[in-house]
Amino acid sequence: EAGVVQSPRYKIIEKKQPVAFWCNPISGHNTLYWYLQNLGQGPELLIRYENEEAVDDSQLPKDRFSAERLKGVDSTLKIQPAELGDSAVYLCASSLDGETEAFFGQGTRLTVV
Amino acid sequence: GEDVEQSLFLSVREGDSSVINCTYTDSSSTYLYWYKQEPGAGLQLLTYIFSNMDMKQDQRLTVLLNKKDKHLSLRIADTQTGDSAIYFCAESLSYSGGGADGLTFGKGTHLIIQP
């Protein structure tokens, strides 16, 4: 069974450009998470979806970040425009529901230059 | 506020035991977790302990919790090269295997294995 798939694995963009990350959760998993992991830090939750509904986006910087999970399966996370400080690893995870173990993707490493 | 502290590095010889320590500040934390992150990979939940427990053992892993001192440790017996990774301690008010709601992570401890 495939795990959580994220793409791209790496992305380098110039500041002020837009960027998007894609996540395909494990089949049947209703809960999907996006995390931000800065270098040398633990992950920080950006947004959590239950099916297609964003149930916790309190940590998502809404001035430049947006996310969607239109059909309750795949999800995209977008940054527009990107800033130098956005350089980090963006992790996606999914779980059957919000109370069972989540499985993480390998992440997308973003470098903003 | 919540805070989780870990030492940044731990170096051990292959075959020895590794003990990774963590302190937390939120006395109302109910669940404490250990995650493993290998290079270029996402996080993997290793084990967790409920706050009314003192110890939990799972094969080579032993978790000790001192709730009075707010101290959590992870012991890895017979450390192997495959154990080389970053280990994150995390706390939450409720069970959240997803690492989402209310989960606060430490900065992680790099476990370095010497041959």
- pLDDT tens digits, B49-98: 988 889 999 999 999 999 899 999 999 999 999 999 999 998 876 655 44
| Residues of chain A in Cβ contact (below 8 Å) with chain B | 4, 31, 33, 35, 40-45, 48, 56, 91, 93, 95, 98-107
A64: region left, alpha or beta (phi > 0 left; psi from -120 to 50 alpha): alpha
Model pLDDT, residue A4: 94
Nearest to A101 among B8, B90, B97 (CB): B97
B95 contacts on A by Cβ (under 8 Å): 99
Specify burial of residue B95 (Cβ count, 10 A radius: 0-12, 13-18, 19+). middle
Chain B (38-57) residues lying within 8 Å, Cβ to Cβ, of chain A: 40-45
Model pLDDT, residue A67: 97
Q: Residue B101: pLDDT above 60?
A: no
Place of tokens 């035991």: B17
| 3-state DSSP assignment of residue A85 | helix
Q: What is the mean pLDDT of residues A5-31?
A: 96
Q: How confident is the model at residue A66 (pLDDT cuts 50, 70, 90)?
A: very high
Model pLDDT, residue B2: 57
Cα distance from A75 to chain B (closest Cα, Å)?
17
The predicted-structure confidence for A86-110, as pLDDT tens digits, reads as follows 999 999 988 887 667 778 899 999 9
Q: How confident is the model at residue B1 (pLDDT cuts 50, 70, 90)?
A: very low
A28: region left, alpha or beta (phi > 0 left; psi from -120 to 50 alpha): left
Model pLDDT, residue B89: 93
3-state secondary structure chain B: CCCEEECCEEEEECCCCEEEEEEECCCCCCEEEEEEECCCCCEEEEEEEECCCCEEEECCEEEEEECCCCEEEEEECCCCHHHCEEEEEEEECCCCCCCCCCCEECCCEEEEEEC
Q: Residue A49: pLDDT above 60?
A: yes
A91 contacts on B by Cβ (under 8 Å): 42-43
Question: CA-CA distance, B113 to B82, in Å (whole number)?
Answer: 9
Model pLDDT, residue B100: 47
Q: Which carries the bigger pLDDT value, residue A83 or residue B98? A: A83
Contact A100 B107 (CB under 8 A): no
Name beta bridge partners: B22: B6, B72
Helices marked H in A16-113 — which ranges? Answer: none
Mean pLDDT estimate for chain A:
92
Name beta bridge partners: B71: B23, B66
Place of tokens 């173990």: A101
Q: How confident is the model at residue B99 (pLDDT cuts 50, 70, 90)?
A: very low
Q: Which amino acid is at B107?
A: K
The predicted-structure confidence for B13-52, as pLDDT tens digits, reads as follows 999 999 999 998 877 767 888 999 998 788 888 998 988 8
* Beta strands in A14-71, from DSSP E residues, in sequence order: 19-24, 31-37, 44-50, 53-56, 65-68
A102 contacts on B by Cβ (under 8 Å): 45, 97-100
Q: Which amino acid is at A9?
A: R
The predicted-structure confidence for B2-22, as pLDDT tens digits, reads as follows 589 999 999 999 999 999 999
Model pLDDT, residue B41: 81
Scored b (16 or more CB within 10 A) or e, B16-46 reads eebebbbbbebeebebbbbbbbeeeebbebb
